[in-house]
Amino acid sequence: MLIDTHCHLDFPAFDADRALVIQRAREEGIAYFIDIGSTLDSSVSACALAQKYPEVYASVGVHPHDADSFDLKAKAKLKELAQQGKIVAIGETGLDYYRNLSNPENQKQAFIQQIEIAKDLKLPLVIHCRQAEKDLLQILKSAFPLQAVVHCFSGDEDFLQECLDSGFFISFTCNITYKKAQGLREMVKLTPLDRIMLETDAPYLSPENFRGQRNEPLQIKLLANQISQIKGVSFECIAELTTQNAKSFFKLR
């Protein structure tokens, strides 16, 4: 059994065949899907998918790219959504100074506000971070204690160690299969198995040999196989441990 801990099945890329995508993945042994909200609208859609499909759970949040439009009304709406059934986390939220599509100060404030929701409701955080490690860690540490997973990990060894020392989980995506991603594969090697979760970030980040195509949750098997090779343990071991990590983190039944 495997779990895709971060996908965007609510996105338009899946409008034509969403049910078939879920069915294909289920037939390949993917038991659960965490559909991740990235805007208020997509968070509403993620909640609806969680209600429609037994194997889908949801996270609600506003991505740093949309932080300029985040206000107290948006915070109240997110908190309302987060109290529905099958909502297992807040996010994705965080900081992104790579694309910098929102003002950095607005990103920080939106992040802080979403951390407050997570702490109030005792939910874990799904963290997005690109080239903002220092500010992100400073904000998170000021809010301890909290639970978090750093999704689509792309940092260096120092950032990885800071995250591990903080008790965070690390989530890797299919981009670790890319030919030029040796640095990411080194981060996989350094991350303890009891802290790793798997994600596709579908429809994004299709594995090597599938690049240019829509990614799907069924590709989590290919990711698990890649990690088993990096770690030098069986596919079954990776499946068991990452599933155990995800079920514990998201409190899945």
Q: Mind listing the pLDDT tens digit for each residue in 107-162?
A: 999 999 999 999 999 999 999 999 999 999 999 999 999 999 999 999 999 999 99
Q: What is the pLDDT of residue 253?
A: 78
Residue of 97, 100, 78, 173 whose CA lies nearest to 136: 97
- Could you give the CA distance from residue 141 to residue 151 in angstroms, rounded to a whole number? 18
Listed in sequence order, the DSSP H helices in the chain are 18-27, 40-52, 72-82, 104-121, 133-142, 157-165, 182-190, 220-231, 235-250
| Domain ranges, residue 31 | 2-250
| Average pLDDT taken over every residue of the chain | 97
In our burial notation (b when 16+ CB lie closer than 10 A, e otherwise), range 157-171 reads: eebbebbbeeebbbb
Say whether 193 sits in a helix, a strand or coil: helix
Task: Evaluate if pTM is beyond 0.75.
Answer: yes
CA dihedral 9, 221, 154, 230 (to 10 degrees): 180
CATH of the domain at 168: 3.20.20.140
Low-confidence ranges of the chain (pLDDT < 70): none
Helices (H) and strands (E) in the chain, counts: 9, 8
**Number of structural domains the chain divides into:** 1
